[in-house]
A and B are shown apart, each in its own frame.
Chain A
Amino acid sequence: MQHFQFYSAKSLNDALRFLAENGDQTRVLAGGTDLIPELREEISRPGMVLNILEIEGLNGVREANQGLRIGCTTTHAQLVESDILRRSCPSLVQAAGSIGGPLIRNRGTIGGNIAHASPAADLASTLLSLDAEAVIMSQKGTREVALSDFFLGPGKTVLKADELLTEIAIPLPRGKGVFLKLGRRQAMTLSVVNVAVCLEMEGRKCREAKVALGSVAPTPIRCPGAERMLLSREMDEELIGKCAQEAMAVSKPVDDQRAKAWYRVQAGTVLVRRALARATGLGEV
C-alpha cells in the first residue's frame, strides 16, 4: 500500500473545505469496504484519504418533505434495521440485506455504495426504482441530481472533485417494491444480475411502473420501454413476459468471471418477470 495523508473531518463544513483544497488528490472513506482493498492492491493511489465517518448529521434515516432522507454514512446494517424503511421501502431493505455478509454490512455505507458506482451495486438499482436523488454538497452550495443522471460509467459519477455526496433523497413510494438478486452463492457475493421494480397498481392496471437493472450495463439502468409497456393494458402473465424481454433489450451486459453476457440476459429476463409478478400480485410465475 502506498503512503497517503489521512484526515478525519470534524464537521460537514470541515470536509467540504478539505475537498475544496485537496479534492483532486483525495479519496473519500465512507466505510472502506471498496476503498481499502483498492488502496491495498494499489488500484487507487490517492495522495489523501478523507474520513467522513465521524461527521455528525450524515448518519441515519429520517422523514422529510413527503419523502425520506438517508445520510451517506448510514450502514447497510442500519438500512436493514430501519423501521421507517421496513415500512415504506421494503425493497431497499431487501437489497441492503443481500450485500456481502454481516461484517460488510456493518462497515459499508449507502454513500460509499452509490459514489463507488459499481455496475453491480445492489442499492443502486433499487434506489433507481424508487426515483431517488443524490444530494451533493460543496462549498459553492447544494445540488440534487436524479440518480438516473448520477452514474456515468463503472466507477464514474457526476461528482466533481470538490463535491461530497451527503444524502440520498427518496420520494415516499406509493407502489410495491421488489428486489431480486442472482449471485453465485448465498452470501458474500456480487450480483450476476439484480432487478428492482416498484409498481403502483389500481385493480389490474398499473398506474406507475419503475424497473431497474444492475450488473447488466456499464451503470445501473432504468428500463423506460418496459415501464411504458406495463402501463398499456391490464396485467397478465403474457404482458409481464413481454415487459421482461423489453427490459433486457436495453441492457448491455459483458462477459466476466461471474457470468457470460448471454446468461445475464436470460437470467435477467427471468428475474424481471418474477419481480413484476410479485409486485403486481400475480404471485409466482
Chain B
Amino acid sequence: MKKRGIGVGSMFYGLGYGFSRQDIASATIEICEDGSVIVRSGEVDFGQGSDTILCQITSEELGIPYNSIQMLTADTLTTPNAGPTSASRVTYVTGMAMLKAARAMKKTLHSAAAQILGQMDLVFGNDKVYSLSHPEKIISFKDLAKAAHLRGLPMVETAWHDITTKDVDPQTAQGDAYSAYAYATQLAEVEVDTETGEVQVLRVVTATDAGKAINPMNVEGQIEGGVAMGLGYALTEEIALEGGYLKTPSLGDYLIPTSLDVPPIETHIVEVPVSTGPYGAKGVGEPASIPTAPAIMNAIAAALGVRVAELPATPENLLRLIQEKEREEKNLPPK
C-alpha cells in the first residue's frame, strides 16, 4: 500500500559567528580613469553566487552597469581579508563591507561632481550623475571618473565591517549571541510504500526570510540546492563505519540525490529587512537545507504514524518501524 503525508519543518539560525567570535570582513573598490571599477575582496565564491551579490551592491550604489565592474576575489596576493565563506555570512557581513566601501567612494565622487556641476542634490544612476532639481546638469560616470583622477582625488577605498557580537552571560547563558537571525519553514509531501519502506518526496514548498533578496533568482537557486542536500541527509546520505573503516568511501556508496530524486520545489521569498545587513539582506545558504529533513520526517510520521529516530531513513529502517507498529497494534510481542 502507498500512504501519503505532509510535514512541516521550521528553523531559526544565527548568522555569522556570534558568541563574541571575531567576525570581520573587508572590501576594496577602485575607480579607474576610464570609468571602469575594480572590486577586491577575499571572499570565496564556490558557486553560491557571492561575486554576483558584491558586484550588484557596487552597481546599485554607484549607478553603473554591472558589466563595467571587474571582480577580483579570493586571491591572497591582491584581495583584503573577508573571512571565510561560512556561517551564511557572506552577503550579510562582506556585503556590508562592500556597501561601506562603495558609499565612501561615492562621497568622493559626489564632491567632485558637485564642483563640476555646481549642484549638491546629485543622483547616481544610468551610468551618469545628475542634479535632481536641474536634470540638465549632468555628467557621465566615465567623464566624472576621469575628472576626479585629474584632480588627484583618492580613487581607492577600503572598508571594514565588524559584526562581532558580545558573548552571552556565562552564568545565565542569556544575551544576544548573534547580531541577526534567519528564519525558514518548509513543507514536504511524501509517499511511502508500506511494504518496501521506500519514500518518494513528491514536492517541497519553502518560505525563507531573506531580509532583502538582492538577487531573487540566486536566492531561489540556493534554496533549491539546500533542499536537495536536506533530502539526501534525510533519506540516503550515510557515513557508515565498521571497525573504524569507512564503508561508504565513494559517491557510489555515499548516495546523494540524483536529479530524478529531487521533487518539484516551490520557493517563497519573505523579505523582512534587518538593519545590520546590506539593504536589509540576510544569509540564506544554510537556512535553505536545515528545515528539509525535519519536514520530510514529519511527513513520514504523518503518513505512517511512526517516528524515525535515526537518519537516514532508509527503506530498511522504515520497514522495520512499520512492522514493529503492526505487531504492537496486533498485541504481538516485539521480534
Which A residues fall within an 8 A CB radius of B?
101, 182, 184-190, 192, 257, 259-260, 263, 266-267, 270-271
29 contacts between A and B (CB under 8 A): A101-B258, A182-B196, A182-B198, A182-B315, A184-B255, A184-B314, A184-B315, A185-B236, A185-B255, A185-B257, A185-B258, A186-B260, A186-B261, A187-B259, A187-B260, A187-B261, A188-B252, A189-B255, A190-B252, A257-B247, A259-B314, A259-B316, A260-B316, A263-B197, A263-B316, A266-B319, A267-B195, A267-B196, A267-B319
CA distance A266 to B316 in the complex (A): 10
How many of B's residues come within 8 Å of A, CB to CB?
20
Q: Is the CB of B248 within 8 A of A185?
A: no
Q: Across the interface, do B316 and A257 meet the contact criterion of CB distance under 8 Å?
A: no
Check A184 against B258 for contact (C-beta < 8 Å): no
A35 to chain B, nearest CB (A): 15
Report which B residues bind A (CB closer than 8 A): 195-198, 236, 240, 247-248, 252-253, 255, 257-261, 314-316, 319
Q: Which residues of A contact B195 (CB under 8 A)?
A: 266-267, 270
Our count of residue pairs bridging A and B at CB distance below 8 angstroms stands at: 49
Inter-chain contact A187/B319, CB cutoff 8 Å = no
Tell me the dominant secondary structure on chain B's binding face: loop
Structural contact, B319 and A188, CB atoms closer than 8 A: no
Whether B198 pairs with A188 at a CB distance below 8 angstroms is: no
Are B247 and A184 in contact, with the CB atoms below 8 A? no
Q: Which A residues touch B315, using CB under 8 A? A: 182, 184, 192, 259, 263, 267
Are A263 and B319 within 8 A (Cβ)? yes
User: What are the 7 tightest A-B residue pairs by CB atom distance, in nearest-first order?
Assistant: A186-B260, A263-B316, A187-B258, A270-B195, A267-B196, A187-B260, A186-B261
> Whole-angstrom distance between the alpha carbons of A190 and B252 in the complex?
9
Give me 6 other A-B pairs in contact (C-beta within 8 A), A184-B315, A185-B258 excluded. A184-B314, A186-B261, A188-B252, A260-B316, A270-B195, A270-B196
Residues of chain A within 8 A (CB-CB) of B255 are 184-185, 189
Q: Tell me the bound Cα distance from A189 to B258 in angstroms.
A: 10
Q: Which residue of A lies closest to B247 (CB)?
A: A257
Q: Are B248 and A188 in contact (CB under 8 A)?
A: no
A185 and B312 alpha carbons, distance in the complex (Å) = 13
The complex places the Cα of A257 from the Cα of B316 at a distance, in Å, of 11
